[in-house]
Structure 1
Amino acid sequence: MTGQRQGRWLALYYALYFSALGAFMPYWGPYLQQQGQTALEIGILTATIQATKVLAPNIWGLMAQRWGLGRIVPAAALATALGFLALSWAHDFFSIFLITIGFSFFWAATLPLVDITTLEWAERRGAAYGRIRLWGSIGFILLALGMGWLIARWGMAVFLPVVAVFLLAAWWSSRYLPFAAAGAPPAVPRPALRQELRRGDLLFFLAACALEQASHGPYYAFYSIYVGDHGLGSAAVGLLWGFAVLCEVLFFALGERIIRRVGLHRVLYASFLLTALRWTVIGLWPDLSWIIAVQTLHAASYGAFHLAAVHWVYQRFPALLRARGQALYASAAYGLGGALGALGSGWAWQEMGGPGTFYAAAALSLLGTFLLVAALRPGHAKSGAGHGVS
């Protein structure tokens, strides 16, 4: 398979994977609300999806190291789609909870492993990871918009089948990805992961990422409900999510160039501070004009954060541990951080209301900034990490 064709398969996988996520994420909260779940239960179920990312990426990363990415990723992708379909027969909290644990455990397996494949493919080809990854964001936009229109027309009954179709399509495309390039020969001795975990910069960095993503908890679990309470319909909700991810796409297209020009550390600091600003504005001014304007900051709170973080981790770990390093990052940021954020937002929403919950989210991102300073201070910086994009 030629390098250009490999790049197309990677782009297609991201487009399908994030199309499923775009159909899922903005409407998971409203779907659960329609199923009769309370705000706390919505927070718990959203936290469950994030909690599986604490252990699952590391478990799957270890399995892929032993049996190969080409076996693990397609199997996990198929199990995700089949597990998600089981939600059709679940209506009470306990049943939804058990099924959510199942499908999200497999869903958490794929993205970090495909990310390391793409990063290594891009390095060999002299290509940009962001230019491949942006197709995922485009897929997210199209389905966030499309689902809003479909739900407005036919109701929440379309939620499960549409998401399942794209999960199945992602499984199909995963069978053609250039996984062989991401593995190392079994005979090559691997450095010990525990040696890396003893370094303070890594622990501070993972903790900072966890807090930054925890601050997104109210956004992922309750944003659609929040703006709906201020008079916006499902189609408008889809437009808001789509517009935010469009801003993310623009950063992915230009991000590596920006990182090379201003430095990886500055991009990371800016992403944390602008995330705090984003949640503060949503809490203070929930009217339409401010809500639209502040969605542009998704380019920072997700786009800049994720692009800079995956490059920092890629540079920070030796080559034979990069897959495990990306799994650790995913576990800390999207697993532990995402779970705590979703669970905490469910409690805060009931006790503090919408504005108070977003103020608390801003405080989490600011706290993460202090930990980031500790991680990136000169005495902790590892050679090559933080000075640009390799």
Structure 2
Amino acid sequence: MFTRLSSSYFFYFALLGLTSPYLALFLDGSGFNSRQVGEIIAIMTVTKIVAPTLWAILADITAKPLLIMRLGVFLALFSFALLYWFTTYWPLTFSLALFTLFWTAVLPQLEVHTLNSIRQSSKIYARIRLWGSLGFIVIAVIAGEAIARFGYYAFTSIGVIILGGLFITTLLITPKRLKPNVVIVSATASVNSVKTKASIAKPSIVKKLLERHFIAFFIAGLLLQISFAPYYGFFALFLRDFDYSGLAIGLFISVGVVAEIVVFIYMGAIFKRLSLTSLLVFSLAITAVRWFMMPIVADSVFWLTINQVGHAASFAIYHSASMKFISSHFTKTQQSRGQAIYLGGVYGLGGAVGAYVTGILWLDGQGATSAFIMAGSCALLGAIVMLFSQTRKTTRTV
């Protein structure tokens, strides 16, 4: 079981290690300008806003999450393979949007099956999830060198191979046999659960959403995701323009992932020492420094590496603190809705807006400095918003 689940996580995040850094490189090699690249990434990001919920509902209705996961991988593989033939703007955009639509079916169902299989053991889950991070690092390094040697066409072939590997691993996963009266984790509330709890009224979430502290938290998260657009979408192109090799690009990207893994390990101790708002402000401030410094340090291997280590604060600390914030802000019956509103709004809307604006500013590399200044300004504004919210309301410690 451990090997099969770990392999699935490895291949899933390996694909992220390909698409997240190198999609823009592939699109640039395909002849698209930076504005078109930003538009394509924005369209893909918008797809992520509603698709996970739709797939989760379908999984609950059918009560066959493994089938949904396998179907998602197979259709994602088919859609991704269309890149061999779709080379013009709209057909290629359609295939990538379709790929994203099906791809979002995979991780929620994999998470559900994994947690049910290991009986909610956080220790075993951490060991399995670690293979996902390793997959990202390995492919980020290999793909960078492969694309540099064989051209942007290698992007599609690597993606098809990874998706093929993932599909095989999902076929090897066996359904969890349920004992009578055992309740499993579900991606959304099951139909039976809704019926049995119909008499229990869920408290309105609107009041929680309109609290000043949450509004500040939401705006700060939105600004952070907008600020990440030059990094997530155009970083590989940025380093290529500084004449770094494909291997070097992959290694720089991996430094950030390794740093976040280390911080994730020690987040429990960090939470005991600092308040959530302090951690959020710190993360946003460090992120602002990273983006402002990026054009300045890009030609120095040493300082660029140091700048990449800052990803531990930009992502790991902020993500952990934001999840803790949501957990403490909403009641138990509001958790799912709170998560959906936050993730859909912040990651979906923020990512789409950031990608579109960055595509306009990038100007095929000539506007890279302007794009990172925009990013740094957004992160700094987010830090100010969170700092202001702290002066208005004391953050609850958790």
Give the alignment's TM-score, normalised by structure 2: 0.82
2:385 is aligned with 1:358 = no
Does the aligned pair in 2 maintain the 1:152–1:234 contact within 8 Å? yes
Which of 311, 322, 326 in structure 2 is aligned with 1:309?
A: 322
For residue 109 of structure 1, report the CA deviation from its aligned partner. Answer: 4.2
Aligned mates of 1:145, 1:104 — CA distance in 2: 23
1:1-390 equivalence runs, <5 A:
5=1, 11-64=6-59, 66-68=61-63, 70=65, 72-111=68-107, 124-125=120-121, 127=123, 133-173=129-169, 180-182=184-186, 184=189, 185-186=193-194, 187-189=196-198, 191=202, 194-195=205-206, 198-200=209-211, 201-289=213-301, 290-350=303-363, 353-373=367-387, 379=393, 387-388=397-398
RMSD value, Cα: 3.3
Aligned mates of 1:101, 1:161 — CA distance in 2: 18
> Any idea what SS the aligned residue of 1:367 has?
helix
Aligned mates of 1:164, 1:314 — CA distance in 2: 38
Aligned mates of 2:20, 2:123 — CA distance in 1: 30
What stretches of structure 2 of length at least 5 have no aligned partner? 177-182
- Between stretches 312-321 and 20-29, larger displacement belongs to 312-321
Does the aligned pair in 1 maintain the 2:30–2:152 contact within 8 Å? no
Does the aligned pair in 2 maintain the 1:209–1:332 contact within 8 Å? no
Identity %: 28
- Between stretches 210-219 and 256-265, larger displacement belongs to 256-265
For residue 125 of structure 1, report the CA deviation from its aligned partner. Answer: 3.1
Aligned mates of 1:121, 1:378 — CA distance in 2: 44
**Structure 1 residues 257 and 127 mapped into 2: Cα distance closer, same or farther (>3 Å)?**
farther
Does the aligned pair in 1 maintain the 2:18–2:140 contact within 8 Å? yes
For residue 346 of structure 1, report the CA deviation from its aligned partner. Answer: 0.7
Larger Rg computed on CA atoms: 2
Aligned mates of 1:258, 1:59 — CA distance in 2: 36
> Any idea what SS the aligned residue of 1:274 has?
helix
Does the aligned pair in 2 maintain the 1:272–1:368 contact within 8 Å? yes
Aligned mates of 1:313, 1:102 — CA distance in 2: 31
Count how many residue pairs are aligned between Structure 1 and Structure 2.
379
Does the aligned pair in 2 maintain the 1:112–1:326 contact within 8 Å? no
Aligned amino acid, residue 46 of structure 2? A
Give the alignment's TM-score, normalised by structure 1: 0.84
